[in-house]
């Protein structure tokens, strides 16, 4: 089933004020203390951190309950005008125990399947953790799903309870009559007593609290088997219909263990949550990972509120997909340019890099204006889920932010590789985490081949699809990722494309569209793009075609006299960009046709183009081959 998700473009919500940089003229000191206030720590010891050895998420829960009780756990705004409300580990873990006790003892539901259908909210985190600690199997669903897909996945997952938010009430009400197998529809933030199959989450929690207060510890005493099936993720793939991915508690726990070895995350750190929680990336690395280390999670209200939320909450870490980070970068560059400080900033990058070689870190002080616009305490940026332009990562690193990349898939729950914060390789997708191994199958002359993964984070298998599981995981336990890449001499992974996206020329040459797309997206006139091989009728020849969504605002700003309502004029601008890109590529990779996209591309929840859907869409303005 195709998950038909349309997301607003984030760029327009990331506008920065003019940055003065007046403080750059201040005298540079050679001291900058490391303290738990967001100051960047200058790393000198290139060694892995001790990490954790959790076997299950229940282990992490019990450890957090013993060691982090007074730490902030979740920060969420009740509404746009109200300041962030902080929930401590004590409040959160108490709520999990109460809710879990209510579900298992009052409703008699244990080891059943619970759909979680909600925007990012405290109730989502509470529901998910309750499942992972022994109440049942979690089935997180995309909050943007149309009603027919919600019904389909609830039936397909064989869920017997649906936990949903008030914002999703209308969707659920439309489906109740069809969902006869569902025993309970549990509404978040509701005190409602049982009414037919409807019940409030708070009501269940309160009944559970009464039992706990009377000494009932049955939920806390539940032992979770490490390899037990605990979460069913439905993928929103860019090349095929959704698959169900079965994940164990050990798979999820190893994400915490693995990331902790490579990144020095501390209890005073706070991660800004902007991606949807139904995705394995955000729910594992954006939630379970900081939870396992005593750090906190800040809930973003939505794309339009990214900057004001960051500036109010002062996060130390942001985990995002490339399109978000690229838009942050582009808008910071615009602001610097408006301030006429481009040359000054570039000069100070060189100066501070030189000072860094003598162990003097002045970047936070010199680039204070940029840090202030990003909340003032930011020290870590992590990009994953798709390739990012290395120039973007290098620039963030140059101003003193630890810029890391991660690699994995829903099938690896999701982490398989990560950049250590003590050995940054900007442009790489990272190196295998300690519980994983990577290898390249049948590498070509450039060392490129399919990336295979052997890891303790690897899924149990595809839900009700043994054939697909056998195709994906070979008898020796290696998962075939479908990604193409290579490993350098130090074991760092570089992803160059997807096997299903590869364009094979009539001469047998392989062209990976992602390489060309990265070059095209360097131009501000290009809002989004997709490169594909267009078949020529009655011929084996493929035309290398760039389908580009124009940034009309930038075209108007940068190309005086161009009428952005004239498709031919816009196509001419984009065609000239294609020619510029062709100059830096070998001949067989050259773009030979252009399609100007009308409207937006259809995206997955991690903001990747759904290629298989896009190729069925011919709403484009075409410009012929360059002879």
User: Domains of the chain by range and CATH?
Assistant: 10-25+285-499 (3.40.50.12780), 57-224 (3.40.50.980), 502-623 (3.30.300.30)
Residues 365, 358: Cα–Cα separation, whole Å = 17
**What one-character-per-residue DSSP string does 13-41 give?**
G-PPPPP--GGGGSPPPS-----TTTPPP
**Strands across the sheet with 593-597, in order?**
526-535, 542-550, 593-597, 620-623
* Tens digits of residue pLDDT in 573-604: 999 999 999 998 888 889 999 999 998 998 87
**Which range has the worst mean pLDDT, 285-299, 341-355, 539-553?**
539-553
Look at residue 55 and tell me whether its pLDDT is greater than 90. yes
pLDDT at 196: 96
Q: Is the dihedral of CA 93, 99, 102, 107 positive or negative?
A: negative
**Which range has the worst mean pLDDT, 192-201, 334-343, 401-410, 616-625?**
616-625
Residues 589, 1: Cα–Cα separation, whole Å = 33
Mean pLDDT over all residues of the chain? 88
Place of tokens 């108007």: 556
Tell me the angle at which helices 57-67 and 249-262 cross, rounded to the nearest 10 degrees: 60
- How wide is the angle at C-alpha 326 spanned by C-alphas 378 and 552, nearest 5°? 140
Residues 116, 163: Cα–Cα separation, whole Å = 5
Look at residue 36 and tell me whether its pLDDT is greater than 70. no
Strands of 478-565, DSSP E: 479-487, 492-498, 503-504, 510-511, 526-535, 542-550
Q: How confident is the model at residue 134 (pLDDT cuts 50, 70, 90)?
A: very high
Work out the number of other CB atoms within 10 angstroms of the CB of residue 301: 16
- 452, 407 in Cβ contact below 8 A? no
Work out the number of other CB atoms within 10 angstroms of the CB of residue 427: 17
Residues 412, 462: Cα–Cα separation, whole Å = 12
- What is the separation, in whole angstroms, between the first and last Cα of the chain? 41
Work out the number of other CB atoms within 10 angstroms of the CB of residue 315: 27
Alpha helices in 263-373 (DSSP H): 280-283, 289-292, 306-313, 322-338, 342-356, 363-366, 368-373
Q: Considering the chain, what percentage of its residues have pLDDT values greater than 90?
A: 69
Range picked from 30-44, 126-140, 397-411, 533-547 for highest mean pLDDT: 126-140
**Which range has the worst mean pLDDT, 40-54, 333-347, 521-535?**
40-54
Place of tokens 């600690």: 133
Which residue in 299, 320, 307 sits closest to 373, CA to CA? 307
Look at residue 605 and tell me whether its pLDDT is greater than 80. no
Q: How confident is the model at residue 508 (pLDDT cuts 50, 70, 90)?
A: low
Range picked from 23-37, 203-217, 230-244, 481-495 for highest mean pLDDT: 203-217
Q: Strand, helix or coil at 111?
A: coil
Angstrom CA distances, 467 to 471, 472, 473, 610, stand at: 6, 9, 10, 24
Tell me the angle at which helices 57-67 and 89-101 cross, rounded to the nearest 10 degrees: 130
**Which range has the worst mean pLDDT, 8-22, 50-64, 236-250?**
8-22
Looking only at the bridges linking them, the beta strands covering 380-383 and 317-320 are parallel
* Tens digits of residue pLDDT in 428-449: 999 999 899 999 999 988 899 9
The pTM assigned to this predicted structure is 0.82
Which residue in 577, 271, 235 sits closest to 413, CA to CA? 235
Strands of 194-292, DSSP E: 198-200, 229-234, 244-248, 270-273
**Which range has the worst mean pLDDT, 15-29, 134-148, 583-597?**
15-29
Look at residue 626 and tell me whether its pLDDT is greater than 60. no
* Tens digits of residue pLDDT in 527-552: 999 999 887 776 667 889 999 999 99
Residue range 3-18: mean pLDDT, rounded: 54
Using only the alpha carbons of the chain, give its radius of gyration.
Answer: 25
**93, exposed or middle or buried, with CB in 10 Å at 0-12, 13-18, 19+?**
buried
pLDDT at 274: 92
Which residue in 510, 421, 407 sits closest to 451, CA to CA? 407
Look at residue 606 and tell me whether its pLDDT is greater than 60. yes
* Tens digits of residue pLDDT in 362-392: 999 999 999 999 999 999 999 987 778 888 9
Residues 171, 138: Cα–Cα separation, whole Å = 19
Residue range 187-207: mean pLDDT, rounded: 97
Residues 569, 575: Cα–Cα separation, whole Å = 10
224's tokens:
């979770």
Give every CB contact of residue 353 below 8 A, 6+ residues apart in sequence.
398
Which residue in 315, 262, 271 sits closest to 294, CA to CA? 271
Q: Strand, helix or coil at 95?
A: helix
Residues 169, 162: Cα–Cα separation, whole Å = 11
Residue range 298-323: mean pLDDT, rounded: 92
Residues 280, 261: Cα–Cα separation, whole Å = 20
The number of C-alpha atoms within 13 Å of 542 and in the hemisphere containing its C-beta is 21
Work out the number of other CB atoms within 10 angstroms of the CB of residue 31: 7
pLDDT at 34: 33
Look at residue 178 and tell me whether its pLDDT is greater than 70. yes
pLDDT at 616: 83
pLDDT at 9: 54
Q: How confident is the model at residue 40 (pLDDT cuts 50, 70, 90)?
A: very low
Residues 562, 554: Cα–Cα separation, whole Å = 11
Element (H or E) spanning 445, and its range? none
Element (H or E) spanning 241, and its range? none
Residue range 601-614: mean pLDDT, rounded: 81
Look at residue 109 and tell me whether its pLDDT is greater than 50. yes
Look at residue 42 and tell me whether its pLDDT is greater than 60. no
Work out the number of other CB atoms within 10 angstroms of the CB of residue 607: 20
């Amino acid at each position: 089933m195709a998950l038909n998700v349309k997301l607003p473009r984030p760029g327009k919500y990331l506008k920065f004020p003019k940055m003065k940089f007046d403080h750059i003229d201040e005298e540079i000191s050679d001291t900058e203390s490391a303290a738990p206030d967001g100051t960047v720590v200058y790393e000198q010891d290139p060694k892995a951190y001790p990490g954790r050895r959790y076997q299950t998420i229940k282990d992490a829960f019990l450890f957090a309950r013993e060691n982090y009780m007074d730490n902030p756990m979740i920060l969420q705004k009740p509404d746009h005008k109200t300041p962030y409300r902080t929930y401590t580990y004590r409040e959160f873990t108490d709520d999990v125990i109460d809710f879990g006790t209510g579900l298992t003892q009052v409703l008699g539901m244990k080891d059943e399947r619970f759909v979680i259908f909600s925007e990012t909210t405290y109730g989502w985190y509470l529901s998910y953790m309750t499942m992972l600690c022994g109440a049942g199997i979690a089935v997180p669903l995309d909050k943007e799903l149309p009603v027919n897909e919600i019904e389909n996945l609830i039936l397909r997952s064989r869920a017997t309870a649906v936990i949903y938010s008030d914002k999703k009430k209308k969707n659920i009400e439309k489906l109740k009559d069809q969902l006869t197998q569902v025993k309970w529809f549990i509404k978040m933030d509701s005190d409602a007593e049982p009414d037919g199959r409807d019940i409030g989450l708070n009501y269940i929690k309160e009944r559970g609290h009464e039992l706990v207060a009377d000494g009932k510890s049955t939920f806390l005493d539940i032992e979770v088997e490490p390899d037990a099936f605990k979460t069913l993720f439905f993928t929103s793939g860019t090349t095929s219909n959704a698959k169900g991915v079965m994940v164990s508690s050990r798979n999820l726990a190893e994400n915490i263990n693995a990331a902790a070895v490579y990144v020095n995350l501390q209890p005073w750190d706070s991660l800004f949550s902007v991606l949807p929680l139904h995705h394995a990336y955000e729910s594992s690395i954006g939630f379970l990972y900081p939870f396992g280390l005593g750090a906190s999670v800040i809930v973003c209200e939505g794309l339009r509120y990214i900057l004001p939320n960051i500036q109010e909450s002062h996060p130390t870490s942001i985990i995002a997909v490339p399109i978000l980070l690229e838009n942050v970068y582009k808008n910071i560059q615009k602001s610097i340019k408006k301030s006429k400080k481009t040359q000054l900033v570039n000069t100070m990058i060189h100066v501070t890099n030189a000072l860094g070689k003598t162990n003097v870190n002045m970047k936070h002080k010199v680039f204070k204006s940029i840090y202030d616009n990003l909340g003032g305490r930011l020290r870590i940026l992590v990009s994953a889920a798709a390739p990012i332009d290395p120039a973007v990562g290098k620039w963030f690193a140059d101003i003193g932010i630890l810029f890391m990349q991660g690699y994995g898939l829903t099938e690896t729950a999701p982490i398989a590789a990560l950049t250590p914060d003590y050995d940054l390789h900007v442009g790489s997708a990272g190196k295998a985490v300690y519980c994983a191994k990577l290898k390249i199958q049948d590498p070509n002359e450039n060392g490129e081949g399919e990336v295979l993964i052997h890891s303790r984070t690897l899924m149990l298998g595809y839900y009700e699809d043994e054939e697909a599981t056998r195709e994906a995981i070979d008898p020796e336990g290696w998962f075939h990722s479908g990604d193409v890449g290579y490993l350098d001499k130090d074991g760092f992974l570089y992803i160059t494309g997807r096997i299903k996206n590869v364009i094979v020329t009539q001469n047998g040459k392989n062209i990976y569209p992602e390489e060309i797309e990265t070059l095209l997206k360097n131009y501000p006139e290009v809002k989004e793009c997709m490169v594909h091989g267009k078949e020529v009728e009655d011929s084996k020849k493929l035309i290398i075609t760039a389908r580009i969504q124009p940034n009309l605002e930038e075209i108007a700003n940068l190309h005086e006299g161009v009428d952005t309502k004239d498709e031919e004029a816009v196509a001419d601008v984009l065609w000239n960009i294609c020619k510029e890109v062709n100059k830096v590529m070998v001949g067989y990779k050259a773009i030979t046709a252009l399609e100007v996209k009308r409207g937006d591309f259809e995206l997955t929840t991690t903001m990747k183009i759904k290629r298989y859907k896009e190729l069925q869409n011919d709403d484009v303005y075409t410009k012929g081959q360059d002879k």
